[in-house]
Structure 1
Amino acid sequence: MTNPQPGMTRIVAGESGKPKRRRGIEIALTAGLVLLISAGATVAAGVSRDSGNTAAAAEPDQAPAVELRLGYFGNITHGPALVGVSQGIIAKDLNGTKLSTQVFTAGPAAIEALNAGALDAAYIGPNPAINSFVQSKGESIRIIAGAAAGGAQLVVKPGITSAADLRGKTLSTPQLGGTQDVALRAWLQKEGHRASPDGSGDVAINPTDNAQTLKLFQDGKLDGAWLPEPWASRLVLQAGATVLVDERDLWDGSLTGKPGEFPTTVLIVNKTFAAEHPATVKALLRAHTESVDWLNNAPAAEKAAVLNAALKETAGAELKPDVIDRALRNIVFTVDPLAGTYRKLLQDGVDAGTTKPADLTGILDLTVLNSITGRHASAAGLGLD
């Protein structure tokens, strides 16, 4: 299949929730057409609503959307999406709204699709979500829930045992400006290394597709990579890498009250879509909550089997038992977006040169999530909760 743009695989699903692949050219045609439609809708929305309105402020009698276009990754850290789609949970809760899906390999590509009007919602890393919000001056997206915490590591060749050993080495991340890319660049800066987005510096960082990273590492062409699960576990167990940094160790809980937890995946929605289709957003959040609950309560063997089947469908291959077991031990599935970390994540992006200073107020709307769960996920002063 022709891949329409880096980081994205086109998958479309009907009301049954079972994905069907279509030719990549449809994305370009669809994105261009929808961009025109979306632009008109945004102008119309601007006439009737001020820019601060979100799903919580929309009229309650508006009809559900005819279609929800959802993006996610074929990664364990996107477990709620994998389960929600493959088990029909999202299709069930959408109750007649058609579900269409696209599978990506990195966050910036998913954001490009959402900004182009080809997606309505997406599971994504927090840094691409922050970048989109900043670049659009708050007009593009809202974060409406968390999905996963943890599950990211810097894995390296044996013999590299300290940050000092990385000078002159070549590392990779999934994509420039992605969550792991920003984490690596920020950490290197704190360790006294320069790693510029243009590739210059004391340490070279080559953003690379995860599957290619594994092969390059096996071939001895990479010295390490900062990766999400299951790719960190694959490099360790299948390519002999060692863990230099477990990102959990960099978060002491002072920003969230949850030591070792940091956001890896969040659920975002297009701001205009949320305002126009609050019932559909609520249905998506209900399904998301059910999927997270399933992941946290299912027996280990059943969880691994369901996730592996979904990975085979979306990424083309299952994981070996030791890989999926190690990956799941590194991840916490949670609807809490851990909003207390976002100012730091933004500053890390600024320090890394992948974003610019900004006010993040308004990036979160957790009102619907909290009404569904009966709990209080905090927006940490960055939006509604």
Structure 2
Amino acid sequence: MRVSSLPLRTALAALALGLAATGCGAADAQESDGSSLTLGYFPNLTHAPALVGVQNGFFTDALGEDVAFDTRIFNSGPDAVNALFSGEVDAAYLGPSPAVNGWAQSEGQALHIVAGAATRGTGLVVREGIDTVDDLRGTTLATPQLGGTQDVALRWFAEEQGWDVDTAGGGDLSIVPQANPETVDSFVLGEIDGAWLPEPHLSRLLAEDDAHLLIDEADLWPRTGGQFVTTHLAVGAEFLDRNPDVVEGLLAGHIASVDQLDEDPEQARRAAVDHLETLTGARLDPATTAAAFDNVTFTVDPVAPSLLAGADRAQAVGLLEPVDLTGIYALDPLNGLLSEDGREQVTGLEG
């Protein structure tokens, strides 16, 4: 698979994969013996299990003192996947499109999805005067990055309307890649007419006077009851193969984070916001925080059917070639932990 309009990005990803395969990746030689684990994640509330787990020490506690725990922050899924390829990180919280892209680029050799993390929490926010879908024609809308999960969602939606869009920002609808933190400023300045965003950026944009939610993405997933994977936890395939015990520790920390988000949301939300402030230097206001969290469901279930549907949508808009996703999930470690605790197990594509 390749993103056809981005030969340079594809080449870089292939180079990173080649470096990792030959032992020349930036961090490949670092600690493949399992004495350390580096986790990647985004400063988004759809990555709250990572935010809470790091802030509250769930990962370090579960991994134990014999495993050095480190983190890396990313603003886009493709960058996080490239870091997995090169060995800069051993595991990462990813959206579905980057995970599928990474699986396809590596021909199923580079990564596995080991748990779900979040569903829902995305949609299209637009300015005043755009009241119907038809009003979107001729507008300029932002997504976090070309080929990312929200980018695919918007392009697929445009395809469903019969509109022509391209990867250079032209067509019936101009779609421009833009880092999430810049989107609110661009919207206020009138440089864009709206954006398809994840939380908390969606709620931040909705807080502007001239903004409203035109499309809640949950409405576009009737076959899964409005549930669709926004974030899941992926691990480098080689790291998983060599260090199953370390991955089990990572998953134990992940489960603890999701449990707190579900069972003690007030404390978990406080931890997530505190950690976001540490990462970004800015603190979300309480109203935005409440709205954002209410829009996301946290779960270890990967909602596998939505991954297949998302891949079909990426193919429909020309950002993904046909790919066999058999084997992308490695859920046995997670299910082992769930079974030990008497919980219901989760399923992948093979049931």
Return the TM-score normalized by structure 1: 0.81
User: What secondary structure sits across from 1:364 in the alignment?
Assistant: coil
Residue 304 of structure 2 is aligned to residue 339 of structure 1: yes
Gaps of 5+ in 1: 1-31, 43-62
- Residue pair 1:153, 1:246 contacting (<8 A) in 2 also: yes
- Give the match for residue 39 of structure 1: 22
C-alpha separation in 2, matches of 1:212 and 1:154? 16
Q: Is the 8 A contact 1:146 1:334 kept in 2?
A: yes
Q: Who is 1:350 aligned against?
A: 315
Write the letter of the residue equivalent to 1:39.
T
Q: Distance in 2 between matches of 1:174 and 1:192?
A: 23
Matched, 1:74 2:43: yes
Alpha-carbon shift at residue 34 of structure 1 (Å): 11
CA contact (8 A) 1:144 1:268 kept: yes
For 2:104 and 2:232, the matched residues in 1 are separated by 16
1:286-365 correspondence runs (5 A): 286-300=252-266, 302-365=267-330
Q: Distance in 2 between matches of 1:153 and 1:210?
A: 13
| CA deviation vs aligned residue, 1:253-288 (integer Å, no higher than 9, x gap) | x3x4xx111100000000011000000000001110
Give, in angstroms, the shift of residue 296 of structure 1.
0.5
Which residue of the other structure, out of 186, 197, 209, is the alignment partner of 1:227? Answer: 197
How many angstroms apart in 2 are the aligned matches of 1:154 and 1:194?
18
Contact 1:66 1:97 in 2 (8 A): yes
The question of whether the paired residues in 2 share the 8 Å contact of 1:214 and 1:239 is answered with no
RMSD of aligned residue pairs (Cα, Å): 1.9
Can you list the C-alpha shifts for 1:46-96, whole angstroms capped at 9, x where unaligned? xxxxxxxxxxxxxxxxx9611101100111100000011111110111112
Residue 171 of structure 2, aligned match among 188, 191, 201: 201
Distance 1:33 1:154, change over 3 A: closer
Residues 279, 239 of structure 1: alpha-carbon distance in 2 compared, 3 angstrom cutoff:
farther
Q: Which of the numbers 215, 230, 242 marks the counterpart of 1:264?
A: 230
How many residues in Structure 1 have an aligned counterpart in Structure 2?
Answer: 326
> Which runs of no fewer than 5 residues in structure 2 stay unpaired?
1-14, 26-31
Deviation track 1:138-164 (CA, whole Å, cap 9, x = no partner) reads: 011100000000000100011101221
Whole-angstrom CA distance in 1 between matches of 2:209 and 2:91: 35
Helix, strand or coil at the partner of 2:23: helix
Q: Judging changes above 3 Å, is the alpha-carbon distance between structure 1 residues 33 and 152 closer, same or farther for their aligned structure 2 residues?
A: closer
Check whether the contact 2:58–2:253 (CA below 8 A) recurs between aligned residues. yes
Residue 332 (structure 2) pairs with residue 367 (structure 1): yes
SS of 1:206's equivalent? Answer: strand
Check whether the contact 1:143–1:266 (CA below 8 A) recurs between aligned residues.
yes
Identity fraction in percent = 42
After superposition, residues 77-116 of structure 1 pair within 5 angstroms as: 77-95=46-64, 96-116=66-86
AA paired with 2:77? Answer: G
Which of 243, 246, 251 does residue 216 from structure 2 map onto?
246
Shift in alpha-carbon separation, 1:35–1:69, aligned structure 2, 3 A: farther
Give me the whole-angstrom Cα distance separating, in 1, the residues matched to 2:268 and 2:53. 12
In structure 2, which of residues 91, 96, 105 is the aligned counterpart of residue 126 of structure 1?
96
Q: Distance in 1 between matches of 2:86 and 2:34?
A: 18
1:240: how far off? 3.0
2: CA distance, partners of 1:34 / 1:202 = 36
Partner of 2:3: none
How far the C-alpha of 1:198 sits from its partner, in A, is 2.7
The one-letter amino acid paired with 1:378 is T
Alpha-carbon distance in structure 1 between the residues aligned to 2:41 and 2:89 = 10
2:250 to 281, 284, 308: 284
Secondary structure in structure 1 of the residue aligned to 2:118: strand
Partners of 1:33 and 1:174 lie apart in 2 by 22
Partners of 2:246 and 2:292 in 1: how far apart?
32
